[in-house]
Structure 1
Amino acid sequence: MSLIQQIDKDYITAYKAKEQVALGVLRHLKTAAKNMQIDLKRELTEEEMLDVVMKQAKQRQDSIEQFRAANREDLAEKEVAELEVLQTYLPSQLSDEELEELVTKTVAETGASGMQDMGKVMNAIMAEYKGRVDGKKLSASVRAKLA
């Protein structure tokens, strides 16, 4: 079952079960996907749909940080609940240990020797592990390895 079909199915299930948080998140997700589909003037591929989900999850993470910085824990909790719904559609993230091993291996494969090669390492990892690696964590890990 494709990601789009899974979201549609879960939307109907959430609607019938009157799960307001999931329903709201899935409604926003479907709208974002539809808007992207209109912009592209074609059906979305699985990868493009995954990008939409990742973008929505990133927005929730940014909102959580902003709300906590503003001491608005009530709004942050709402965003956390929404983020949990979105994470069910994302591939599992690499653990910190797996990320360190991957960075070490990729640095060796690309022959990176300093910070000027950071882009090479980042691109190699992101091309293969897109959606499974957080960009901020990856950047910090690569920076630490190359420094």
Structure 2
Amino acid sequence: MDTRTQVNQALKQAMKDKAAERLCTLRLINAAIKDREIAARADGEEGGIDEGEILAILGKMTKQRNESARAYEEGGRLDLAERELGEIAIIEEFLPQQLSDEEVGEAITAAVAETGAESIRDMGKVMGALKAKYTGQMDFGKAGPLVKDQLCSKGDC
């Protein structure tokens, strides 16, 4: 079952259960997906958006809420931080299982070998291969420095 169907089923169930907070978050997810579809149609893309783009949207939503929760905590607004963390938990239900640090390292090693990357100039190729294969499963902000370290150990930096 694709992510969009899962979100719609969860939305219907939240309506039946009268779970207001969950319903609100699921509606935000649906709105973000529909916004991206509209943008894709405006750009002339046929067939809508694929599963990878939906996972990227969910990952972006999670990242935004993490940043907001951190800002709220620093500002002493723990009630708002808790609400953001609750939304993160709901969004993460639809994301694939995150890779462990060890699995991320193995994926980077495989992507470097697969792309034939030799130097830091090939970092874009490696990151592209990782994004194509592991969207929603790893934090690419953390993976970037690891890729850089691995490529620097192969050649000059």
The TM-score range, normalised by the shorter chain, is 0.7 to 0.9
Indicate yes or no: 2:15 matched with 1:15.
Answer: yes
Where does the alignment leave 5 or more consecutive residues of structure 2 unmatched? 42-46, 153-157
Counterpart of 1:84 in structure 2 is: 89
* C-alpha contact (below 8 Å) 2:58/2:91 kept by paired residues: yes
Shift of 1:120: 2.3
Cα offsets for 1:44-95 (capped at 9, x unmatched): 4333333332232222122123223334332221111100100011111111
Counterpart of 1:48 in structure 2 is: 53
Shift of 1:100: 1.0
* C-alpha contact (below 8 Å) 2:56/2:135 kept by paired residues: no
Most deviating of 124-133 and 86-95: 124-133
Code of the residue aligned with 2:24 in structure 1: it is G
Give every structure 1 segment of 4 or more consecutive aligned residues whose post-TM-superposition deviation is greater than 6 Å.
none
Alpha-carbon distance change, 49 to 114 in structure 1, aligned in 2, over 3 angstroms:
closer
CA distance in 1: counterparts of 2:14 and 2:132, whole angstroms: 34
Counterpart of 1:143 in structure 2 is: 148
Identity of aligned residues (%): 38
Q: CA RMSD in A?
A: 2.1
Aligned residues: 147
SS in 1 for 2:137: coil
Shift of 1:43: 4.4
Alpha-carbon distance change, 144 to 72 in structure 1, aligned in 2, over 3 angstroms:
farther
Shift of 1:97: 0.4
Per the normalisation by structure 2, the TM-score is 0.79
Most deviating of 117-126 and 134-143: 117-126
